[in-house]
Amino acid sequence: MDNEDVNIGGSGDTDNFNAREAVQKLAEPYLPDGLPTFTIKNQPIGMLGLMYKRGRLSEITEDMKRQLLLTLYMLVSKKMTPKVQTDFNAKILLERIVLPENKYPEEYRRIADALLKEFTASNWGEEAPPPQASSSLKRSYSGSHKSGYSIISKVPNGDSDPNDPIWGLNGIMRGITKTKSDNGNGSTRISYKATVPDSQKNANLFGHNGAEVGDCWPFLIAAKRDGVHGHHIQGITGTAAEGCFSIVISGGSSGYDADKDEGDVIAYSDSTANDAADNDPNRQGGADVLIQSMQTRKPVRVIRSSKGEWGGRPKAGFRYDGLYTVVDYKARLRRQGKGNFKVFRLERNGGFAGTDATNQGPILTDKPTRKQQSLFQHASDSNF
Per the model's pLDDT, the better-predicted residue between 73 and 129 turns out to be 73
pLDDT category at 195 given cuts 50, 70, 90 is confident
Instruction: Find out whether 167 and 159 touch, Cβ atoms under 8 Å.
Output: no
Among 247, 243, 254, residue whose Cα is nearest residue 228: 247
What is the arithmetic mean of pLDDT over 196-218? 85
What is the arithmetic mean of pLDDT over 40-49? 68
Q: Are strands 300-305 and 243-249 parallel, antiparallel or unpaired?
A: parallel
Confidence check: pLDDT of 365 > 50: yes
- In this predicted structure, what is the pLDDT of residue 93? 84
Distance (Å, whole) CA 215 – CA 200: 17
- Assign 157 to helix, strand or coil: coil
For residue range 316-326, list pLDDT tens digits in order. 999 999 999 99
Among 91, 72, 61, residue whose Cα is nearest residue 31: 72
What is the arithmetic mean of pLDDT over 196-214? 83
Asked whether the whole model's pTM tops 0.75, one would answer: no
Per the model's pLDDT, the better-predicted residue between 130 and 290 turns out to be 290
Instruction: Find out whether 326 and 285 touch, Cβ atoms under 8 Å.
Output: no
Instruction: Find out whether 300 and 247 touch, Cβ atoms under 8 Å.
Output: yes
Superfamily grouping for domain 200-375: SRA-YDG (2.30.280.10)
Distance (Å, whole) CA 217 – CA 373: 9
Per the model's pLDDT, the better-predicted residue between 156 and 384 turns out to be 156
- Write the CB contacts of 118 (distance below 8 Å, at least 6 apart in sequence): 19
- In this predicted structure, what is the pLDDT of residue 190? 80
Instruction: Find out whether 316 and 306 touch, Cβ atoms under 8 Å.
Output: yes
CB atoms within 10 A of CB 360: 18
- In this predicted structure, what is the pLDDT of residue 304? 96
For residue range 1-37, list pLDDT tens digits in order. 343 433 434 344 445 688 888 888 888 887 755 444 5
Share of the chain above pLDDT 70, in %: 70
What is the arithmetic mean of pLDDT over 205-226? 93
- In this predicted structure, what is the pLDDT of residue 261? 92
| Structural domain boundaries in the chain | 3-125, 129-197, 200-375
Among 25, 18, 20, residue whose Cα is nearest residue 3: 25
Q: Are strands 188-194 and 216-217 parallel, antiparallel or unpaired?
A: unpaired
Distance (Å, whole) CA 226 – CA 264: 24
- Look at the chain and count its residues: 384
Helix residue spans in the chain (DSSP H): 19-27, 31-34, 42-53, 62-77, 82-87, 90-98, 106-121, 220-225, 287-296, 370-381
Label residues 198-216 b or e (16+ Cβ within 10 Å = b).
eebeebbbbebbebebbbb
- In this predicted structure, what is the pLDDT of residue 23? 87
What is the arithmetic mean of pLDDT over 82-86? 80
- In this predicted structure, what is the pLDDT of residue 273? 57
- The whole-chain average pLDDT of the chain stands at 76
Confidence check: pLDDT of 370 > 90: yes
- Write the CB contacts of 330 (distance below 8 Å, at least 6 apart in sequence): 342, 343
Q: What are phi and psi of 234, to 5 degrees?
A: -65, 145
pLDDT category at 240 given cuts 50, 70, 90 is confident
